[in-house]
Amino acid sequence: MCTAVAFRTRDFYFGRTLDLDRSYGEEVTVTPRIYPFQFRKMGPVERHYAMIGIAHVEENYPLYYEGVNEKGLGMAGLNFVGNAAYEENCAPGFDNISPFEFIPWILAQCATVKEARKLLGKLRLVSLPFREDLPLSELHWIISDRTGSIVVESTRSGLSVYDDPAQILTNNPTFDQQLFGLNNYLSLSPGPVSNHFSQKLTLDLYSNGMGSIGLPGGFSSQARFVRAAFVSLNSLCKEGETESVSQFFHILGAVEQPRGCCRLESGKCQYTLYTCCCNADKGILYYTTYENHQITAVDMNLEDLSGSALIRYPMITGEQIHLQNAVGTNA
């Protein structure tokens, strides 16, 4: 279960929380322009846009959870269990792509959401696992640039592409139902409210923030969708990089899951393994992990993007605490 957000100040930012019950050895991964992507049914793509994101690397192949490319296009895959359905057979005349290849397929070739939408017109997501012991995840995807966002879902009824004016994605139900659900909260407000209950009663404001009474506070995917949309769409932020990045982490902080609050039938707990934010215009990826609240950054443009080898940075997971009054430091 996860939450993805697209957000714009002076620059365009894209990121997500990853909420699972365990880590799979995720790494910040930069794929340079001539890394040879091998697509199972479409053959090799040896020259493409460079990209950065967080991935599990298997057999030197980046299984991206999310990423942005050097042109400023971002894409993330989020759990869509019970609704996702992939084609069993390839079809002539279509781009037959496995879901594990979908993010690099789009980010390698497309500079904008408009270009991605065009490519989606001939796409089939085919049930081809990476390996037998690595089955496909049931996912749907958000694709974003500074002009807007779309959501892509492959279900039993086929491939659907939705405009996403909220620029938010969580998990179930299908995106059209998630978006429609916001109608239930149209009376919410970030500002003070007046008495609409009854003119026969004198009702007074007793606290700031009462306009948000009724905003869902739980960890279900629908509750997180509503909460993330309300926080993001009402967010006020300065234009600078540090202010924008800080605000982005505060937005996703509204939907982070503490360990122990979302328990699975297996007895394990789902929690926010990491939160990431990428300045898609500058190619800088920022992240925090569950045990490390200090923001860490990797700048794609400090790497050799003309190379052919993956560039990988293990995520810093230990808490980084600055003791302000330590001996030898200035308070």
Tokens coding 74: 């971002």
Residues 6+ apart with CB under 8 A from 85: 154, 155, 156
Q: Is the pLDDT of residue 210 over 90?
A: no
Active-site residue 2, yes or no?
Answer: yes
Which fold, 2-314? Penicillin V Acylase; Chain A (3.60.60)
Of the pLDDT bands very low, low, confident and very high (cuts 50, 70, 90), residue 200 is confident
| Rounded Cα gap, residues 128 and 3, in angstroms | 26
Q: What does the pLDDT average to over 60-88?
A: 97
Residue 22 burial class via C-beta count within 10 angstroms: exposed 0-12, middle 13-18, buried 19 and up: exposed
Closest CA to 55 of 314, 256, 317: 314
> Out of 2, 110, 276, 277, which one is annotated catalytic?
2
pLDDT tens string 233-248: 999 999 999 999 999 9
Of the pLDDT bands very low, low, confident and very high (cuts 50, 70, 90), residue 264 is confident
Closest CA to 223 of 280, 167, 171: 171
Of the pLDDT bands very low, low, confident and very high (cuts 50, 70, 90), residue 280 is very high
Q: What does the pLDDT average to over 257-268?
A: 88
Say how many CA atoms lie within 13 Å of 201 toward its Cβ. 7
Domains of the chain by residue range: 2-314
DSSP string, 45-92: E-S---EEEEEEEETTEEEEEEEEETTS-EEEEEE-TTT---BSS--T
